[in-house]
Amino acid sequence: MRPLRLLFALFCVGLVGACDASSPDGAVSQNAAVPVGNGFDFYILALSWSPGYCRSLGDRADREQCTASPAFEWIVHGLWPQFDRGYPEFCAPGTGERVPRSLADTVKDIMPSNGLIQHQWRKHGSCSGLQPDDYFTVTRTAFEKISRPDIDGSQMQSFSATHQAIERAFLNANPDIPPDAIAVTCDRRFLRDVRICMKRDLTGYVACPEVDQRHCPRPDLVVVPAN
């Protein structure tokens, strides 16, 4: 395995400081310039390390995502409305509403699977209080607010790391994120997601103990390179 110091060979520039502002339900934040959903406390932005997802699920993984060339690295797993304890899901059951293909195509660069887009809208987006176009606008804005560290570099084989090392890479790249607003998860032994708790208007971050405590329980995890 490669030394862990290789994990930190390159970092993106830290996130620009965000202004703290609150907005009423359904309003538009003047600072974030994005619609603000209602009926929940904060968002989780779940960033998936795509090579880990593809390796973990193997033949069961989404082919649209996992056969792309060049391979995807950090993608949006989802933007999830959360309560301080627990979360809502499938808030419009039985409607059969689907994200139009024309809209889905606009986010394929960050959510590279139609199946992923449709599932995330039905399970999580439907609980945001937003229409699909606004929800995916907010999703892109959240994604672009986060500097995503390079944990792949030029490595040609998998290597091991602790969840603390992955978390530290994100905190170094994004100094405004407090340590209690982020968690790293794994799928079996593979790095899977980094989950970041964000205010509803995306102007900052919130402590989320319930999320923070659900970090990867393994002493180390496998980081699969994107090649």
pLDDT tens series, the chain, 227 aa: 333 333 333 223 233 233 333 333 333 333 446 688 778 999 999 999 998 888 887 777 788 888 888 889 999 999 999 999 999 999 986 555 789 999 999 999 999 999 999 999 999 999 999 999 999 999 999 999 999 988 865 455 677 888 899 999 999 999 999 999 999 998 878 888 999 999 999 999 999 999 988 888 888 888 888 76
Q: How many Å apart are CA 213 and CA 215, to the nearest integer?
A: 6
pLDDT tens sequence across 195-214: 999 999 999 999 999 998 88
Cis geometry, peptide bond prior to residue 70 (ω within 30 degrees of 0):
yes
| Cα–Cα distance list, 37 to 20, 26, 93, 124 (Å) | 17, 5, 19, 12
Residues 6+ apart with CB under 8 A from 44: 78, 79, 80, 82, 195, 196, 197, 198, 208, 211
pTM of the predicted model, to two decimals? 0.81
